[in-house]
Amino acid sequence: MTAMVQSDGEIDWGAKRYLIVDDFVGIRQLLRESLRNLGAKHIDQAASGGEGMMLLAKTRYDVVLCDYNLGDGKNGQQVLEEARIRNLILPSSVWLMVSAEKSVESVMGAAEHQPDAYIIKPITEGVLLTRLNRVWIKKQIFSEIDQAYADKDYLRAARLCEEQIPVNPLHAIDLLRMKATLQLKAGDPLGARKVYEQVLEERDYNWARCGLAKIMMHDGEVEEAQKMFQAVIADNRFYIDAFDQLAQAFQLQGKHEEAFDVLQKAAKLSPNSVPRQRTLGQTALRLENIPVAERAFRKCIDIGEYSVAKTVDAYFGMARVCGKKNDTKEAIRLLNAAVHQFGGDQVTLRAKITEGLVYHETGDFRRARKSGDELEAMLADESRHRPDTATCLDMATLLFAVGVKEAPVGLLCYIARNNHDNVPLMDELQKIFDKARMGDEGTELIRSSRKEAADMMNKGVLLWKSERLQEAIDWMRVARHALPHNMRILFNSAQILISRLQQTGYVRELADEAIEVLMHVDAIAPGQPRFAQLMEQLALLAPVSGVVAAAAASEYEAANGAVPDS
């Protein structure tokens, strides 16, 4: 600690680049004056969120002082989110969010993009300097951890946290919090649970209570988790994360009405969250509460306007609402707007599914059938990627309902092949077959699809075990092409590539192939322990640690869109 304190004086705040975003000219002048007193020479100013974004796109600032309340257009939080997602600020940059009063956002728990610190007006030079120094020191402590995190080497990042804890007592709690997050990412909920319990012995931090309850919820201790979320809310009514989680706990118990109630409260407390409004809308739709669903989806579209979290789901939800209100014309208009604004095969496919659902629900079976036929034609095009599992399930259900048979059977077999060891999902497939009055046929189809996948996997394992590594690699490429979403095949594929690298030493092409496979599996099923283990093995093989993984990860993201951060 003492060493840290002494190093304060060494930070040269004068040489940094600053951006001030505030709609009030008096405040901009005042802040500029304060920064000049710290020796700053390079200071840019913006009067609105939009202007701020333009400057952020041009210059990499070291420090951003951004007011939360910017009048019309983007607010400070939205500017921060967009800047982070568009990679306009360096990981080392300091973002200070300035607000007029103690901000509710700062204690909400799960705002995805938190600033480095909040500062309340009036800002004096002393407070500004203390906060800048504090954030800077914290960034130093976390820089290596953040790097390993960005490289998805979660196990190493967790170990780094552990090393930092004894030397940084002031940040011990933050380091423990990060460690638990990393353990969850690495598929080690047991380890994370221990960390949360350790923290809670010290003090009742709401984030630790929520973290613990989330793990309990996934372990099947749903009722206990529910009580813990309720206790957090009783203690802090603004802890929005607890509301969102409580809703999920109710949903897991089949208590959709209760879940709906909680979501409505959460949306009232913090209405400007795209995902929350989306969940509310979808839950309301399931409960046939059309007015609430309509409000939620509309709000979702409105706030999406200025947010990078903008989602096509809101348009689909809103189209369903219009369908329920027998306004097919407006529904179709929305679906066209969605395809126009978001584009891409997946969106086009999902828009078509929603269109079919809307026609089907409004009793226009002729048009519903036509949508079904069009979907079938889209699926026949082999060059297109199949959508995610949930969309495939929706699509199969719809196609059966409108009387198409071959395409949905193909879809369901595709799901069975790609998830051959996921038993609950197989039950779901069986139910869809049952509903289509194809129970026995379905059972047989599921069985043979699962066997097909298992055979492919086993052949790879056999080649690998008999040390015919090159053949195993070639075979797994074939298997991957046939079953692009099968987690076991993907993991085995990466494992075999890594075995090969351990034998031959580092080969760039093979390492990149392994990383691509791993990034893909992490995108479709985050938080797997095998992912963390394989990433760590791979990182050990790389000549320069981290760099290769990071490059491949960003390459993957560039080609396939951002890996969702669940």
Partner 1 sequence: MDDDLSQHYQGSPELLMFLASTVHDMKNSISVLSGTLEHLLTNVPATAAAPVPAAAEPAQYQQLSQMLYQTRRLNDSLIQLLALYKEVGKPGYPFDPSPRSVRELVEQVEGQARILLQSRGIAFETDFAPDAIWTFDEELVIGVLVHAINNAIRYTRDRIRLSVRVDGDYLELRVEDNGDGFPPAMLAAGAQAMDVRDVQVRFSSNSSGLGLYFSSEVARMHRHRQRTGAIALENGGELGGGCFVLRLP
Q: Which residue's CB is nearer to partner 1, number 27 or number 287?
A: 27
HSE-CB of 536 using CA atoms within 13 angstroms: 14
* Shortest CB 16 distance to partner 1, Å: 20
* 70 touches 23 (CB < 8 A): yes
Say how far apart CA 76 and CA 479 lie, in whole Å: 48
For residue 249, the minimal CB distance to partner 1 (Å) is 14
Q: Which is nearer to partner 1, 176 or 494 (CB)?
A: 176
Count CA atoms closer than 13 A to 407's CA, side-chain side.
Answer: 27
- How many other CB atoms are found less than 10 A from the CB of residue 505? 8
Cβ 282 to partner 1, closest distance in Å? 22
Three-class SS string for 32-90? HHHHHHCCCCEEEEECCHHHHHHHHHHCCCCEEEEECCCCCCCCHHHHHHHHHHCCCCC
Name the residue nearer to partner 1 (CB basis): 18 or 154. Answer: 18
Q: How far is the CB of 378 from partner 1 (least distance, A)?
A: 44
Residue 473 token pair: 């690699």
CA distance 520 to 542: 20
| CB-side neighbour CA atoms (13 Å) of 371 | 28
Name which of 202 and 427 has its Cβ closer to partner 1.
202
Query: Kindly report the CA angle at 16 between 151 and 63, in degrees rounded to 5?
Result: 60
Nearer residue to partner 1 within complex by CB, 206 or 422:
206
Contact between residue 113 and residue 81 where contact means Cβ atoms under 8 Å apart: yes
Kindly state the tokens that stand for 259.
């879940």
- Separation between Cα atoms, residue 395 and residue 349, nearest integer Å: 9
Tokens representing 435? 């509903």
Least separation in angstroms between CB 109 and partner 1: 11
For 182, phi then psi, to 5°, come to -65, -40
Tell me 9's DSSP state: G
In the complex, least distance from residue 5 CB atom to partner 1, rounded to whole angstroms = 7
In whole angstroms, give the CA distance from residue 382 to residue 384. 5
* Side chain identity at residue 309, one-letter code: A
What is the rounded end-to-end Cα distance, in angstroms, of the chain? 34
Task: Give whichever of 181 and 430 is closer to partner 1, judged by the CB atom.
Answer: 181
Residue 294: how many other CB atoms lie within 10 Å: 20
Alpha helices in 186-273 (DSSP H): 189-202, 206-218, 222-235, 240-252, 256-269
Instruction: Output 1 or 57, the one with its CB closest to partner 1.
Output: 1
Query: Whose Cβ is closer to partner 1: residue 122's or residue 564's?
Result: 122
In this complex, which beta carbon is closest to partner 1, that of residue 207 or of residue 359? 207
Residue closer to partner 1 by CB (options 47, 525) is 47
List of residues contacting partner 1 (CB under 8 A): 1-2, 5, 24, 26-27, 30, 33-34, 69, 100-104, 106-107, 120-127, 129-130, 134, 169-173, 203, 230, 233-238, 265, 268-269
Least distance between partner 1 and beta carbon 276 (Å): 16
Sign for the pseudo-dihedral over CA of 84, 89, 92, 96: negative
Nearer to partner 1, 234 or 540 (CB): 234
The least distance separating partner 1 from the CB of residue 265, rounded to whole angstroms, comes to: 6
**Shortest Å distance, C-beta 103 to partner 1:** 7
10 Å Cβ neighbour count for 25?
10
Of 409, 400, 407, residue with least CA distance to 442 = 409
Q: Rounded to the nearest whole angstrom, what is the least distance from the CB of residue 396 to partner 1 in the complex?
A: 40
Distance in Å, CB of 81 to partner 1, minimum? 20
Shortest separation between residue 47's beta carbon and partner 1, angstroms: 13
Q: What residue has token string 């939800």? A: 317
Peptide bond between residue 122 and the one before it cis (omega within 30 degrees of 0): yes
Closest approach of Cβ 129 to partner 1, in Å?
A: 7
Instruction: Name the 3-class secondary structure at 94.
Output: strand
**Closer CB to partner 1, 248 or 486, in the complex:** 248
**Torsion, Cα of 21, 22, 26, 28 (10° steps):** -10
Distance CA 298, CA 321 (A): 10
CB 133, min distance to partner 1, A? 8
CB atoms within 10 A of CB 288: 8
Nearer to partner 1, 57 or 127 (CB): 127
Q: Tell the smallest beta-carbon distance from residue 72 to partner 1 (Å).
A: 12
Q: Closer to partner 1 by CB, 300 or 549: give it.
A: 300
Considering the complex, state which of residue 130 and residue 537 has its C-beta at the smaller distance from partner 1.
130
Q: 126: exposed, middle or buried (C-beta count within 10 Å: 0-12, 13-18, 19+)? A: exposed
